[in-house]
Amino acid sequence: SYELTQPPSVSVSPGQTARITCSGDALPKQYAYWYQQKPGQAPVLVIYKDSERPSGIPERFSGSSSGTTVTLTISGVQAEDEADYYCQSADSSVVFGGGTKLTVL
Amino acid sequence: EVQLVESGGGLVQPGGSLRLSCAASGFTFSSYWMHWVRQAPGKGLVWVSRINSDGSSTSYADSVKGRFTISRDNAKNTLYLQMNSLRAEDTAVYYCARADYDILTGYSRWGQGTLVTVSS
């Protein structure tokens, strides 16, 4: 079955840039989506179709794609960005990555 | 305001059944493909099932195929998930979600989730 692979954790200091990767064989053919989830809350879509930002999402969130890897970049990380981040895509079925815990030091 | 409100979760014994509901409001429910996603305690998001806009096509994750049934009532603006032969590993928060940017992915609207606990 199709899998998306993310690093379990990423740590950055406030004001620095965080990069979270997501790898999958179908990513060159299929769009990726990114969600932010804080404890006890439902996920929030922060990037759609690899690099588009929904309205209301801060400009410091951006996405990019290269081959079998997509990357969520958070520039100028703030304490409020500490959360779990999940990538999502679809091949024959819908799949989420395992999630990455972003820690703001 | 767009809202998705799940209900129907609770404690059920292994082998038992439960039906979850997701009441939609603030948008034209019948125009959207809908999905169920679950999250076991302390674990990641897992896609469970989807249904197309008129209810004629469904799909399931292998882990629930043959045990869960997704359905919808567009007249009542409600999505359902009938869960049978429940197992301990089905314990999770279940979210309904609306697919906005693609029929399968890109969920910009989620419910608050309903907790299902399978335990004796």
The domain tally of chain A equals 1
Query: Which pLDDT does position B67 carry in this prediction?
Result: 98
Of all residues in chain B, the percent with pLDDT exceeding 90 is 96
| Local structure of residue B89 (DSSP, 8 states) | G
Average pLDDT for B61-89: 98
In terms of residue numbers, what domain contains A29?
A: 9-104
Low-confidence residues of chain A: pLDDT under 70: none
- CB of B3 within 8 A of CB of B26? yes
Residues in chain A within 8 Å Cβ distance of B37: 96
- What digits encode the pLDDT tens for the residues B79-109? 999 999 999 999 999 999 999 988 889 999 9
Measured CA to CA, the distance from residue B120 to residue B11 in angstroms comes to 9
- Residue B97 exposure: Cα atoms within 13 Å on the Cβ side: 30
Residue A1: per-residue pLDDT: 76
DSSP A78-94: -GGG-EEEEEEEESSSE
Please give the helix or strand (H or E) that residue A100 lies within, else none.
strand A100-104
pLDDT attached to residue A12:
98
Which residues of chain A neighbour B105 with C-beta distances below 8 Å? Answer: 31, 33, 88-90, 94
Say if A1 falls within a structural domain: no
Give the CATH number, domain containing residue A78: 2.60.40.10
User: Measured in Å, how far apart are chain A's first and last C-alpha atoms?
Assistant: 36
The answer to whether position A3 is within a domain reads no
Inter-chain contact B106–A96, Cβ cutoff 8 Å?
Answer: no
Asked if residue A15 belongs to a domain, the reply is yes
- Average of per-residue pLDDT across B11-34: 98
Integer CA distances (angstroms), A42 to A1, A14, B62, B64, B111, in order: 26, 24, 24, 22, 7
User: B109 pairs with which residues across the strands?
Assistant: B98
CA distance A35 to A17: 18
